[in-house]
Amino acid sequence: MATGGAWQRRKLWRRCRRIADTLNVPTEFDAAVLADLVSSRLGRPVELVPLPSSTCSPCGVLVTTDRAEYIGYPRDTTPLHQQHIVLHEVGHLLCGHRGSTVLSPAVAAALAPSLSSELINRVLGRSVYTEVQEQEAEVFASLVLHRAADRRPAGRVAGPPPARPAGGFGPAGTTAARLGSLFDAAPPHGPSESV
């Protein structure tokens, strides 16, 4: 990383891995499910807001108000990148990072219908990784999404969850999970350490 020695880097990775372990993101990423998951964890509403990329320079923004958490992510990038950006902001939330209370006019305008008259307590933007907070959030997002991708069976196309089959079994994914635990298909756990 740009700052800090190997010891601090290992410490940061350990901390991120510990926090990432507590977030059980589904194999098939679903933004609404993630928002609900984080919302129930924090006990506060979490809203995901797609923004024109010109407003969230360059990548994403987390705005904490007295009522809710707003995560802004760019509309015009690939879905994988969007997922990563959202998870980066979730990383800020779960790591308990502090930010400024200054919201850029462009982001304020984009969030205006949602924010209305709420009191802004925290603003964090995903931009550069020279700050430890940004490094933590970035490592967290990388770990979580990389693990979810690892749990996906090789060659499997990411898409909507499979339909419920007829007969006495639950959804195909559930059946596969039960069979997987029985027949030695344990999920891997992603990278052990940064280099």
Helices (H) and strands (E) in the chain — how many of each?
A: 6, 4
Q: Which residues pair with 69 in a beta bridge?
A: 46, 64
* Residue 97 host element (H or E): none
Q: Contacts with other proteins: how many residues (CB under 8 A)?
A: 60
Query: Which residues inside 8-47 make contact with other proteins, applying CB under 8 A?
Result: 29
Q: Under the criterion CB under 8 A, does residue 6 sit at the interface with other proteins?
A: no
Q: Which of 11, 116, 134 is nearest to 66 (CA)?
A: 116
Stretch that binds other proteins, among 17-25, 75-83, 93-101, 114-122 (CB under 8 A): 75-83
**94 backbone dihedrals φ, ψ, rounded to 5°:** -75, -25
Q: Does 112 sit near other proteins (CB under 8 A)?
A: no
Using CB under 8 A, pick the residue from 24, 54, 100, 121 that binds other proteins. Answer: 54
**Which ranges of the chain does DSSP label H, i.e. alpha helix?**
6-21, 31-42, 79-95, 105-115, 132-151, 172-182
Binding site for other proteins (CB under 8 A): 1-2, 29, 53-54, 58-59, 74, 76-81, 83-84, 127-130, 135, 138-139, 142, 145-146, 149-150, 152-159, 162, 165, 167-170, 172, 174-176, 178-186, 190-192, 194-195
